[in-house]
Amino acid sequence: MPEFLTERDRSALAQLRDCMTNPKLVSRATILLLADEDKTTTQIVETAGVSARQVGYWLREWDKRGLDIFPPEAQALLAPGSDEPVSSLGASIDEVVPSDDGASLDVVPLPGINQPRTALNLLDAPGVQPTDPMSEAGRKVLLFHFERMLLNEPGVRVGEDIEAVHDMRVATRRMRSGIRLFEPFFKPGRLSAYNASLKRIAGSLGEVRDLDVFMDKAQKYAQKSPDVDLAPLFAEWEKRLEIARERLMHRLDSREFTRFNEEFHKFLTTPGKGARSLPDPEDREPVEARHVFPRMLYGLYEQVRVYDDLVDSREVTTLHALRIELKRLRYALEFFEEILGPEGRAVIKEVKVLQDHLGDMNDAEVAVMILRDFVDEEDRKNSGKPRFMRQPDVSGVRQYMLAKQLEKDRLINTFPTAWAAFTREDVRRNLALAVSAL
């Protein structure tokens, strides 16, 4: 929390709180004023109607930026040298607000903070054409998901919606999968540095997202089981989440991430950059998407089907490897969905059902390991004490761990049935029909 607010800061924040009508900006000022009164995070959450993450975020931003956490038109409400506001701020922070001298003040949002770092086109689809060379098809696909990553960064920073972290992470995953798919069509090593940067940001996003998912599922379990006390677990996960968010913010604020975004954007918006030279037409070498992708797609499908004889083994490591192959198949189908036949959408849906099944199994397995570590650590701290004297009481966490273990076992045991549904004849037929459109 900030150590103190000066009288001038306090007066300015009070003016902003009282004269603004945008609820988000009012909450922002209220958080700081309550923190200055030494209110706890819990008290601020209850009074301001915000989340604990929002409290932490805006206190950190105040430490770094002061009044600049408010847009210029909000600061224009403060008359220089006066305690009187000069006007009121409307409900939208995007509108143009008149200043005290009658001039118009245009909002100047901070790139990456409350707007994307660069102007985005946000097409409905990558725009791949059947006759595109594979390098240019890849450039379109990567740019499409790169823009989705930038679009979600402001939401990730504020932390109001956990889906912003999910969507930004998914965008990085798709780009990494795209780089793996399209790398052969670019000069050697041309995409490796970008992939390394994406891996780092994906790791930071993953730390936050995984904890978000664990907490969300644990909260739903607690709501259905009111007699189970998971408070010690939530307290520990909140601490971890705060640390993970700090690391994520550090990553987003880093020069390395800024440089990556600038260089990758330039690369993706420059046709032909870094691509292998196209062969002489006389060589008749396939380079267009319509010629190359069918072979690639069936190769990915083959990598999935080699697990036919292994799914009954119920080996977790085997199922994890299969999950990765399914993800690669699904992303490839989505990258080229607009040039495939309409049956492609049905195949994507089938892959997603199987992938989600394995994803839930993976989440349950990881949750069991984390819960077991938590319980073991508490047992170590309370070694030698009778169970009834141990603090905190983690019996509720033990019960939840058992529930997650049962969930994992159920998903493993039912997977062969899900696999049989995926490998049925009409799914294979739909895949062939989707490719036949090329």
Average pLDDT, the chain: 87
Which of these ranges, 25-39, 85-99, 331-345, 399-413, has the smallest mean pLDDT? 85-99
pLDDT in tens, 8-39: 888 888 888 888 878 888 889 999 998 888 88
Residue 202 identity: A
Q: What was the pLDDT predicted at 109?
A: 59
Q: What was the pLDDT predicted at 124?
A: 94
The size of the chain, in residues, is 438
CB 62 within 8 A of CB 4: no
pLDDT in tens, 371-380: 999 999 988 8
What does the alpha-carbon distance between residue 180 and residue 162 come to, in Å, rounded to a whole number?
28
Q: What was the pLDDT predicted at 2?
A: 45
**Helix, strand, coil in percent for the chain, rounding step 5:** 70, 5, 25
Burial 101-114 (b: 16+ CB within 10 A, else e): eeeebebeeebbbb
What does the alpha-carbon distance between residue 297 and residue 317 come to, in Å, rounded to a whole number?
24
CA 72 to chain centre: 29
Q: What was the pLDDT predicted at 74?
A: 78
What does the alpha-carbon distance between residue 186 and residue 267 come to, in Å, rounded to a whole number?
12
Mean pLDDT for 368-372 is 95
Residue 106 has pLDDT above 70, yes or no: no
Other beta carbons less than 10 A from residue 389's beta carbon: 9
Other beta carbons less than 10 A from residue 341's beta carbon: 18
Q: What was the pLDDT predicted at 304?
A: 97
Other beta carbons less than 10 A from residue 141's beta carbon: 27
Portion of the chain with pLDDT greater than 90, in percent? 58
pLDDT in tens, 112-128: 777 899 999 999 999 99
pLDDT in tens, 145-192: 999 999 999 999 887 778 999 999 999 999 999 999 999 999 999 999
How would you class 195 by CB atoms within 10 Å of its CB: exposed for 0-12, middle for 13-18, buried for 19 or more? Answer: middle
What does the alpha-carbon distance between residue 270 and residue 26 come to, in Å, rounded to a whole number?
43
Residue 144 identity: F
362: tokens are 């993976």
Using CA atoms, how far residue 401 sits from 230, 273, 296, 388, 398, in Å, is 11, 51, 42, 20, 5
Specify the DSSP class assigned to residue 5: -
pLDDT in tens, 206-218: 999 999 999 999 9
What does the alpha-carbon distance between residue 200 and residue 281 come to, in Å, rounded to a whole number?
40
Mean pLDDT for 303-313 is 91
Please tell me the pTM assigned to this model. Answer: 0.77
Q: What is the 3-state secondary structure (H, E, C) of 274-337?
A: CECCCCCHHHCCCCEHHHHHHHHHHHHHHHHHCCCCCHHHCCHHHHHHHHHHHHHHHHHHHHCH
Looking up tokens 């992470």 gives: 169
Q: What was the pLDDT predicted at 80?
A: 53
Q: What was the pLDDT predicted at 121?
A: 92
pLDDT in tens, 251-274: 999 999 999 999 999 999 999 999
Q: What was the pLDDT predicted at 284?
A: 75
Mean pLDDT for 292-305 is 96
CB 361 within 8 A of CB 319: yes
Q: What was the pLDDT predicted at 79?
A: 53
Q: What is the DSSP code string of 79-99?
A: -TT-SSBSS-B-S-TTS-EE-
pLDDT in tens, 69-99: 888 777 877 755 444 443 333 333 333 333 3
Specify the DSSP class assigned to residue 338: G
Mean pLDDT for 218-241 is 90
283: tokens are 């060589």
Residue 104 has pLDDT above 50, yes or no: no
